[in-house]
Amino acid sequence: MTTTNTTPESPNAEPMRMDFIRQAVAEDLQAGKGGGKVITRFPPEPNGYLHIGHAKAIWIDYGIATDFGGEFHLRMDDTNPMKEEDEYVKAILDDVRWLGVEWGEHLYYASDCFEQMYDYAVDLIRKGLAYVDDQTPDEISRSRGTLTSPGTASPYRDRPAEENLDLFTRMRKGEFPNGSRVLRAKIDMASPNLNLRDPVMYRILHAPHPHRGSDWCIYPMYDWAHGIEDSIEGITHSLCDIDFENHRPLYDWFIDAINQGRQTPIHHPRQIEFARFNLTYTITSKRKLRELIDGKLVRGWDDPRLPTLRGMRRRGYVPDAIRDFMRHIGISKVVTTIDAALFEHFQRDNLNRTSPRVMAVLDPLKVVITNYPQGQSEQLDAVNNPEDPSGGTRKVPFSRELYIEREDFMEDPPKKFFRLAPGREVRLRYAYFITCTEAIKDADGNVVELRCTYDPATRGGDAPDGRKVKATLHWVSADHALDAEARLYDYLLLPEEEDAAADANTALPSAADTGEAPDDPAAVAITGSAPERDWKERLNPNSLQTISAKVEPSLAGTQPLDRFQFERLGYFCTDRDTTDGKLVFNRTLTLKDTWAKEKKKGGA
C-alpha cells in the first residue's frame, strides 16, 4: 500500500512507504482513535551522545509524525541525575537538529512531570497498589525469583496504606539515606513476566538534578516514568525498541491502575515495538564507547571512527544520506544485520552529487617538467563538480615542478599498469600530456624525482593529432601547493566470523542504548548476560593513519565540515583542528563502492 503524502511538514512530499507501524497508525486514524491525531516522541536519556542506532528511532518517530501530519516531540528522559549532564542535553539537541529534525515548541523534560508522577504514586499507595519497601537492593533482587521460579513477597508488602503514605512523604522530604527505602508497585510476585514482580517505582537519591536542581531527593525509575510521560504529553503512538515488548504489560498496568476509580481517565498511549539493527564493524554500546574514550583509544565522543552522530558529522557524513539509508532498510520486527557497505553506499551517492572536486596528493613524488620554462606558471580551468553543471569551474596553477602520487609511477610496470613509467605518456588532469624521461634515485635506490617533458599542444588534456593515452593522473603544483595533514579512517573493528549477528559487540542498539532503558537494577540482575570474549581484540590497529599531504591552493580558505572529493582518492572534509596555519582533512570514504559493485553483479 502506498499513500501519497502532501502534508506541508513532509520534505519533498515523498510517497509514504507503508510498514507495519504506519499501517497500525492509519487504522487507528480511520477508527477515530487518539482524537484523530498522531503524536510521536523521541525520548533519549541525556547520559551520553547519540549514535546511528538513535538515528533510526528518530527517523521512525519523526517520519511517522510528518507522514500523517502530526506532532513530533523531543523529550529528555532525565530521571537519573547521577548519569545526566547539561553537556549531553545540548549535544542531543544539536545532533537531532543536524539530522534535519525539528520539534518546534515540543521540547519536554521528564523531570518537569515529577510532581504529577508523585501525585499518581500517592494515588496508587492510597489504593493499596504500591508500598514502601525497606529491603536492600540485593534483597530485592534475590526475592524477585528467576525465570523458572516465582518471587518471594517482601515482608513490608502488606504495610497499611497510611504507613506507606507517611514513609513516602518522608522519603520525599529527605529524611532517609540513599538506598534505605524504595517505593514498589504491588502487582504479582509469581508473574511469568519478571517486570510485573513488584517493580521499583522510586528510589532515594540525594543528588542535584541538572534540570531541577535540588528540588527532589527521590527519583522515579524508568519503567514508572516512561509511560506516564507519554500519557501526560498525549503521545498517541509510543514507538519502542523490541526489547520493550515485555515491558508493555507493565506500562499498561500503571495506566490502568491510575485510571481505576477515576471519573476522567488519563490518556493511554498505544505502544508499538520495532527491531533494532546490527551494523557490521560497529560498536554502539555506551559502556564500550566509554571504555574506548577513557582508555584514550579514540580521541573523544566525536572521534570520526565512532558511530556517534558527533563522530559521523566530524568525519563528513551527510545527514540526508542517513535518512535515505534508514528509509531503505525500513522497519522490521526482526533484528537484522546490515553490511556497513550499504550505509557507505548511500553516503557516497550523496557526496558524489554534492561534493566539489579538488586535487590533492597524499604520497607526493616530485615531477620536474624539463621543457617547461623556469619561473613560469599558468592558471588552468578545472571543473568543480561534473555531477552539477551549475557548480562552475575554478583555476588551478600549473608550473615546472609538480607532485603526483608515488603509486602512479612504476619503474618496471606489469602489463596492465597504464600509469607513468619510463618512456610512457600520460595525461595530467586539466593540463597536458607528459612523458617520463628519467627517474632520479637516492643512495638507497629509491626513486625521489621524475624528469618529464610535456606537449604544449595538449593544453586542457586533448591532443590535436588525436593520439590517446590510457591514464589520467591528478597532481598539484609544487610552487603553489599547501601542506596539509590527512587523516585516513578505516573500520574501527576488524571483520569477524559468520556469527557476527549474534555478537553483542555489534548490536545497534540494545535497550540500554536507545534512550529507552529500564533502570531497575533488580531486573538486570535477574536477566544476567552471557560471558563474552574481549571485544578489544577486534580493534583495528590501522583504523587511523595520519599522513602529510599536498593540496591545491583553492583550499586555503576552507572551513570545518566543508566537504570535498579529492580526485581519484576519496571524499574528505575539513576537520575542526584546522587553523590559519594548519590544514587538516578527514577522509570520509574512499571512492570505491563495494555495495554498488555487488549490486551490479547481482550479489545484493
Residues classed as catalytic: 45, 276, 286
Give just the sign of the alpha carbon dihedral 454, 457, 460, 463: negative
Residue 63, judged by CB atoms within 10 A of its CB (0-12, 13-18, 19+), counts as buried
HEC string for 518-562: CCCHHHHHHHCCCCCCCHHHHECCCCEEEEEEEECHHHHHCCCCC
HEC string for 27-80: HHHHCCHHHHCCEEEECCCCCCCCEHHHHHHHHHHHHHHHHCCCEEEEEECCCC
Element (H, E) at 156: none
Please report how many Cα atoms fall inside a 13 Å half-sphere around the Cα of residue 469, on the Cβ side.
Answer: 24
Q: 3-class DSSP state for residue 277? A: strand
What DSSP state is assigned to residue 235?
Answer: -
**Which residues, including other chains, have CB under 8 Å from residue 83's CB and lie 6 or more apart?**
45, 47
Query: What residue type is assigned to position 424 of the chain?
Result: R
Element (H, E) at 226: helix 222-233
Cell of 378: 599558468
Buried residues in 389-418 as b, exposed as e (16+ CB within 10 A): eeeeebebbbbbebbbbeebbbeeeeeeee
Contact between 173 and 118 (Cβ < 8 Å)? no
| Of residues 4, 598, 51, the one with CA closest to residue 305 | 51
Q: What distance in Å separates the CA atoms of residue 92 and residue 385, rounded to the nearest whole number?
A: 34
Contact between 426 and 420 (Cβ < 8 Å)? yes
Sheet strands (E) in 442-505? 447-455, 472-473, 476-477, 482-489
For 574-578, the CB contacts below 8 A with 24+ separation are 575/314, 575/487, 576/314, 577/485
Please provide residue 422's backbone torsions phi and psi, each rounded to the nearest 5 degrees.
Answer: -55, 130
Contact between 350 and 563 (Cβ < 8 Å)? no
Cell of 3: 499513500
